[in-house]
Each structure stands twice: as structure tokens, then as C-alpha cells.
Structure 1
């Protein structure tokens, strides 16, 4: 719609544009309040979503604690790593193994032929050979000899490619001015120069034949595991979820033990405490943030009238404390603390709380309240509990209750369930960015404010039009009055 062209003050001399603008500034106050209310609702929604993301991230991290298979990590230890090295490669079924090495495996040595390359004329792998020749590879495993043609523009690299792709079964490599050919199937072979001069590659002139050395067959290793003899094809092999690397023969059996990986379990618990403390720090900071009364969000036109830093500061003060004393977040933190303090029924009474494994609240002091529920680890006590009663420590976090009894549920699952409740309440309150439609409490509030803003925009347009209409009528009346006054004066002047 094209805006009407308005001319004001032509008869009255008034600045009609400014007068109407000032009048509309007063009329716009209800609309401005709606816009500021919308900004506050959006700030609150975004703050709730930020907290919800933190809770969800922490909840996901609890998977490392609430499932037993994540905590029952094992490690294998050899009494003699110099003789037999071991590492986990699955799930061993036993806790102890013995291994005696009678014989190490010896790899097979393939048949090979070695040629000394002329380093003065073929100094590197990219230099051209400089002569044409043909070689023939013959072996008892081949039906007929394989011929390979080499041109003067070939390099060592291109010659190797021709040999390797010839179908002869011979593979070539080049290192330190040596061209080495090997045959993996163990059969011997001959290399004959059938034409040309191949002396630059150490093969001689036409008619020269070089016979390969004989290969040596490999031998299997012999090991005795838990009293049973096994033949192994290599010196590294896997047995019952353990990878063994045998390095030397042994006179007596070597002991290999499977133990709980206490370091991994300790680090998992320590990581949980760290993440928990970070979470409650951030949530507590949000619900205790200072609220500055009397400060409201700035509209765009208000920001434009202020220096940028001043506008940012005022907006920051208006946003501060937006979730102060929020009941959803406060209750959620209380529920997490409760989940960690109630003893676990069905567990060993000596290991049914965190404090018994070395995890407590802040040390007693007059400033302890400032920590607001943070956890502290006595590392020596926790390591002792893991070393002597690791299974009971795991039970404290992972115990499953088929009846869903809260007191019989492991601490990690309790926290997970409490977080579920809080996350749902926050989602109902503020929605989240993954939902296609925001049907949350704040989402519906913002929708209603938007509708009210639209109504006020239409209403204000009508009010502005009425102001202009009144001023236009005034200008017309003044113009008519001025015209009549001029006519009257003219008439009076004519009579004189």
C-alpha cells in the first residue's frame, strides 16, 4: 500500500509532522511495552534452553556411569613383558593364564635375486635408464617364461611397475642402489637378459642369466597356554580375547592376569565429579544472578539514541537475573543432591553412599555453604576402595531395581531419572530448537504478544490517520479563513 503524501503547516505555519510524531510517541507506549515484554520472554526462553542443553549434556555423560559394562573395564598384565607382551583384544573368560614359549615362529624367506644398480648413471628412481633391453623371468611355477621390455626412457620406478604387473609372481623393490626381486610362493626363478644391455641395472648383457637364491620355509611357534600346547603361525596372536606377542623362549611359564582397570574407573568417576560440579556452578550462577529492578530491554530506536557500550550495558542489566530463584532449576538441583545422598538399599552397608568411597561435600567450615553442593574427592580413599572393593563401587553407581524402587536404584540412574523430569519441565516451559512447532508456555505467550502487537500496529495506524485528518481539516479552515480575510481587506481597500 502506498503511503499518503501529507503536507502540514502550510496555512498555520505549525510543524505538523513533529506534533503528530510526538502525539504518536505517547500513543505508542502500550505497543512499546508489548515489544519489551516480547524481548523479555525471548530472553527467558533462550536462558531456559541454555540451561536445558547443559542438563541434557550432563545427562548423556552419565551413560559412562550407569551401565556396568562401561565400568567393568579390564586390563591384562604379564609378569615378564620382555618375554611375553599382552594387551586386551576382547573379553577374556578367565582371570589368570600361564604361557610357556617353547619355540618362536620364524617367517618364511622368499626366493630372491639382487642387482646392483649403477649409481653413476642411474643415481635415483626418476632418472631414465638410457638403453633398451628385454628380460625374461622363468620359474617352475610358470607355464612359460614371462618377457618384459624396457625402453631407454624408463626409470627404475617404471621398470619396477612393469615387473610387478607382469604376472610372473615376482615382485621388485628399489632401495639404496639395489634392485631386489622376490617370489613369495617360495619357488626359485631365473632372470635372463634376452636382448640389449641391462648392465646399468646390474643384470648384464644379452644372454646373461641370474638365478635367485633359494627361499627358506617358515616355522611355526610353539606355546603352551594353561597347560595346552598350541602351534602359532606368527609371534603375535590372539587367544581368548588377549593379544599375545612372544619375544623369547621361556624355561618356566609366564603368568598373565586379567584385572579391573582401576585407573580407567577412577578417571571415569573423577570426570563425573568434575562435570557435576561444573553443572551446578553454572545453574547456581543463573538462579542467583543479580536482578536490577527498573531496567527494561531497549528497543532499536532507543539503542540508536545511546552510545553502543551504554546500550549494551543497559541491556545486560535488564537481562541479568532473568531466572533468579527459578523453581524448576532450584528444584532440579535439590533433586540431584537428594539422589546422591540417600543410601543405596541392597548394597554393602560399608559402600552404600559416596562418602564411603571418598566423595563428599565441601569440608566443614563457615564458608562451606558457598560451594552449594559441590563434590570433593579424597583420591587416596577412592583408589583404596577401587583396589579392594571395585565391584562394590561399581554397584553403588549401576545397581538396577526391577521394581523401579528409588532407594534400590544406583546413583547414576537416579540422577539420570531426575534430570529427565527437569528437562521435560524446562521443555514444556520453553520448548527447544529441534521441535518444528513451539507449543511451550513461553512459545504460546510470544505468539499471543505477536498477535497483540499486530492489533496495536493497525490501531496506531488508524489513530495517526485521524490526527492527520484533524490537522488537515484545521489547515483547510485556516486557509479558507485567510482567503476570506484577504478578500475582505481587498474590499475595504477598494472602498477607500
Structure 2
């Protein structure tokens, strides 16, 4: 603890504090520069996040052929047959007649009165309907398990059935097992005598030779005619030529299933891409043209203490402005993205679909939009209806040369290159400062700040030593003056 100013009567602490303010000016500038670097780093990372979002949207949208093969499917009788497009390329009209629905096999116990608890291991060999592969299933029954516990374990196992207790028309409660899959040919076999005896004790019927459970109702395949051709299916839901059919009832006349291009769904995919692209270039252009307010440097801690939160917010809004103004990485990246979109795609197969303007997408008339896209929806709808796969190729054509690549492929390549450059400069949230340029600048500034803070401690100590020496000199002068006055007074 220092006690100074007793001899001089001066506020030494205040004097040293004022002197240190001047000495701290270089440190404040370094701290402010560090803050600028951190803001720049964060701005770059924000841009990279936006570019990554665009890249992901392209991959999930115009990058996928299935998005350009979306179909609307209609049924002339939805109570009998419904359908949806899975991967259908052409528009079709199909006549389907349902002759027989698929059913699952059921197995019924005669009575539940003979169930006795006790630990046992049930072993089965199971073949599903329509399959030739057999799997082994083991169910462990505990010493004190009830019948409900047994049913729960059956349902939770890989046996492939659902068990439940049901009362028949005479009021007798039975255990009924229903196969989880429809169709003919499935078998459930007791794999050992213990399992055979347990199932028989419950009243299930089993073949004495094969040990197979005998169904009360056998499994049944679905039988349908499609365009006059008869086919058998193990399930009431099946896929043919990219269309998934679900049959509900036997029909007396053919049901017509029609597919057409789902223009709205494909249009939505393209609109999402255009909107996201516009959002990205708008934000990047905003950063590139943002005004730089050099008279608003980052605030020091002392300055913040003298301001309200609103004042700090308004000040820092201007201090952060323009930190990426005219940035070379963003400028070159944006120029490349525009080139990717506007350059025609080569290939004879793309006649009439070589560039975005061919499908109704062009740049806005307002030059202040700096390359934002606009959509002529009527024209785009016409082109989607005309040839949706040609539009897909416009986005996704592949080739060795730049001109052979589709617009989305070019754009993703450019986005990845741009994101890599930004990462090299600003890193990611997982990067250490040694791994990117701004981080190295921050590390260098930290070292200089620490060294300067050590120097300030030495300077402050020197000031106090000097003022202490002054105090001591004043003290001695005061003592000498008092002594002389005492002498002069004594002489009188």
C-alpha cells in the first residue's frame, strides 16, 4: 500500500493515473486492433456459415434427380387403390384390377387355462412369407412370468408375430398370434421339444412331424391385374415401375392410376435455390459495400463505463461496420459465383436448356441488386412441364471441363473454394489461433499486449519512485526550513 502526497499535499495517485493514461495509448490501440481482428474473424465465419447453408441446400435440392422426378398421382377409386410416385421418370396411366387382397396368417390357442408359470427357453425357426431364409429366435421365460409377460416377450422378439388375448364368439379367451407380414409361405417352427410341448399346452396346433405351427387362417398373397397382366404380391403395398401401389379392396372394374409431373413441387425446389442464392449474395454485397466509420474505433473498458448500454450498442454498430469492405476473397468469390450461373452449359442434349434464362431465370433489372436472380414463374412452369430432367441436367451435368459442368456443380465447386479461403483466413470455432491468418495476428497481438502491460507496470513503479523521491526532498526541505526558523527564532 502506498501513502504519498503527505509532504507535498499533492494527489499523487491522480497524477500517476493521468500520466499512465498517456502511457496506455499504445496499449489501447493494440487492444482495439485485437477487437477489430476478432470482429473480422466472426464476420468471415458468419459468411462461411451462410455459404455452407447454400451448399447444403443445393445438395438436398437441385442436386437430386428425385426432386425433378416428383409426380402427382391420382386414382379413379381411392377406396380400392391409392398410389404414390417413388422414382417414376415418365408420366403414365395404369389400369389395375384387384382380384384378392393379401392376408397375414393367424395362429390360435384353444384355451389359456393350461398355462403354467416356470422358467423355460423357447426356441423357434422362422421363415417369413415370400422368403427362403430361416432365422433362429430364442425367447427366455422367467420363473414368475405371467402369460401377459410371455405375450410381451413374444411381441418384443424377432418372432415376427403380434400376440394378443381375444375372446371368441362363445366367450372363450384365446391367445391369437398374427403374422406381422402378409402373404403365403411363412412358417413358424418349434425348434425343440420343450417349445413344442409349451405351445401344445396352450392349445396351439402343431404338426407332429415338422413341429410347424398350423395356422388357423393361412397367409394369402395379393392378386392383381395391371394393364391386363396378372401378378402376385405378398403385400398389399408394392412398387412397380417407380409407382408404389396400396390396394384396399377387391374391385369389380379396373381402377385408373394416372401420373403427371408435379410442377409445383419441382418449382418449389428451384425457388428455394434462387431465394437462398439471393440471400447469400445480398449479405455478401452488403459486407463489401458497407460504410467504414474510422472515427468510431472499438471502445475501451474505461470508455464503456462512462456510457449507457444503448450508447455502447450504437457506437459498436458503427465500429463493426465496413470491416470486410472491398474484401478480395469475397469479391473474387462473388464474381466467380456470378460466372457459374451465367455461363451456358455445353452439350447437344441440352438444346433449349443451356442457361438459366432459357428456363425463365435471369438477373434483376435493378443494378443495385448486384446480380440477384428473378424468376419468370410462367415460363419456368412451362419448361418444367416440357422436360424436367433437362432442367436437372442444366444444374447437374457432369464433365471434365468447366463448360460441361452443370450450374449447381460449378457453384458448389466455387463455394467450397471460397469457404476454404475464408477458413484459412478466419478459421472455424474448432480452430486454434496457429491454424489461420487472423488467429496468428491475434496471437502476435496478445504477446505484444502482455509485454506492453509488463512495461506499463515498470513505468508506473518508476513514476511512484520519482514522486516518492520528490516527497522525500520536500520533506527534507521542510525539516531544514523548520530548523532554520527555530534557529532564527532562538536568536531573537
| TMscore range, shorter length | 0.7 to 0.9
Show CA shifts across 1:308-331 (max 9, x none).
322222222221122222222122
- Which residue, out of 71, 82, 86, partners 1:85? 82
Aligned residues of 1:76 and 1:256 also touching (Cα < 8 A): no
**C-alpha separation in 1, matches of 2:50 and 2:410:** 18
**TM-superposed deviation, 1:425:** 1.8
Please state whether the residue corresponding to 1:350 is helix, strand or coil: coil
Q: Does 1:448 align with 2:444?
A: yes
**TM-superposed deviation, 1:246:** 2.8
Classify 1:6/1:80 alpha carbon distance in 2 versus 1 (closer, same or farther; 3 Å).
same
Classify 1:179/1:22 alpha carbon distance in 2 versus 1 (closer, same or farther; 3 Å).
farther
**TM-superposed deviation, 1:229:** 2.3
Show the counterpart of 2:194: none
Show the counterpart of 2:165: 172
Q: Does 1:181 align with 2:173?
A: yes
- Which residue, out of 3, 6, 9, partners 2:5? 9
Show CA shifts across 1:48-88 (max 9, x none).
11111111211121113563434343437355233422124
- Which residue, out of 71, 76, 88, partners 1:75? 71
Show the counterpart of 1:197: none
Show the counterpart of 1:342: 343
Please state whether the residue corresponding to 1:146 is helix, strand or coil: coil
Classify 1:30/1:240 alpha carbon distance in 2 versus 1 (closer, same or farther; 3 Å).
same
Which stretch of the first structure deviates more once superposed, 222-231 or 315-324?
Answer: 222-231
Q: Does 1:471 align with 2:472?
A: no
Show CA shifts across 1:229-264 (max 9, x none).
234566444456543233454465445455554333
**C-alpha separation in 1, matches of 2:98 and 2:69:** 32
Show the counterpart of 1:357: 359
Q: How many residues matched?
A: 419
Aligned residues of 1:96 and 1:255 also touching (Cα < 8 A): no
**C-alpha separation in 1, matches of 2:106 and 2:340:** 67
TM-score by length of 2: 0.75
Which stretch of the first structure deviates more once superposed, 247-256 or 34-43?
Answer: 247-256
Aligned residues of 2:164 and 2:177 also touching (Cα < 8 A): no
Q: Does 1:493 align with 2:489?
A: yes
Aligned residues of 2:75 and 2:82 also touching (Cα < 8 A): no
Aligned residues of 2:75 and 2:83 also touching (Cα < 8 A): no
**C-alpha separation in 2, matches of 1:51 and 1:93:** 38
**C-alpha separation in 2, matches of 1:56 and 1:106:** 48
Show the counterpart of 1:191: none
**TM-superposed deviation, 1:185:** 7.1
Show the counterpart of 2:305: 304
Classify 1:100/1:280 alpha carbon distance in 2 versus 1 (closer, same or farther; 3 Å).
closer
Structure 2 matches for 1:356-435, cutoff 5 A? 356-362=358-364, 364=365, 368-401=366-399, 403=400, 405-435=401-431
Aligned residues of 2:105 and 2:220 also touching (Cα < 8 A): no
Aligned residues of 1:164 and 1:171 also touching (Cα < 8 A): yes
| Alignment RMSD | 3.6
Aligned residues of 1:359 and 1:378 also touching (Cα < 8 A): yes
Show the counterpart of 1:124: none
**C-alpha separation in 2, matches of 1:170 and 1:32:** 77
Classify 1:265/1:334 alpha carbon distance in 2 versus 1 (closer, same or farther; 3 Å).
same
Q: Does 1:263 align with 2:264?
A: yes
Aligned residues of 1:74 and 1:258 also touching (Cα < 8 A): no
| Structure possessing the higher radius of gyration over alpha carbons | 1
- Which residue, out of 16, 23, 42, partners 2:19? 23
Q: Does 1:324 align with 2:292?
A: no
Which stretch of the first structure deviates more once superposed, 229-238 or 388-397?
Answer: 229-238
Show the counterpart of 1:122: none
Aligned residues of 1:105 and 1:232 also touching (Cα < 8 A): no
**C-alpha separation in 2, matches of 1:386 and 1:170:** 50
Aligned residues of 1:105 and 1:221 also touching (Cα < 8 A): yes
**C-alpha separation in 2, matches of 1:423 and 1:221:** 54
Classify 1:147/1:306 alpha carbon distance in 2 versus 1 (closer, same or farther; 3 Å).
closer
Please state whether the residue corresponding to 1:291 is helix, strand or coil: coil
Classify 1:180/1:261 alpha carbon distance in 2 versus 1 (closer, same or farther; 3 Å).
farther
**C-alpha separation in 2, matches of 1:450 and 1:171:** 72
